[in-house]
Amino acid sequence: MPTYICLMSFTSDGIKSIKDHPKRRDEARKAAEGMGLKVHHTYLTLGPHDLTVILEARNDEAAATFALASSMRGKISTLTMRAFDEGDADKLIGVLP
């Protein structure tokens, strides 16, 4: 399954209720699994984004659905990127003219 990196930022409502974050994170993981996604890691991060989530999804549509569903709650905003590991990147580069 393709890998995705989700950069997430707390909304003002999300940071006001930060103590509920562990519960929300567990709920989001269960929701992702229910959508057929596999969450590998969730990191609290410093810098322009508050959270980084590494996950696998069957396709871009499934990853986008997860990102939209996560944002709908109003606690985070998301930026989701498709990630290619070294092997996949080498294959892509290998077919260049």
pLDDT 10s digits, 34-84: 999 999 999 999 999 999 999 999 999 999 999 999 999 999 999 999 999
Instruction: Pull the structure tokens for residue 32.
Output: 């992702």
DSSP H or E run through 3: strand 3-10
pLDDT of amino acid 36: 95
pLDDT 10s digits, 2-40: 999 999 999 999 999 999 999 999 999 999 999 999 999
- pTM of the model as a whole: 0.91
**Residue 89's pLDDT band (cuts 50, 70, 90):** very high
d(Cα 15, Cα 45) in Å, to the nearest integer? 14
DSSP character at residue 56: E
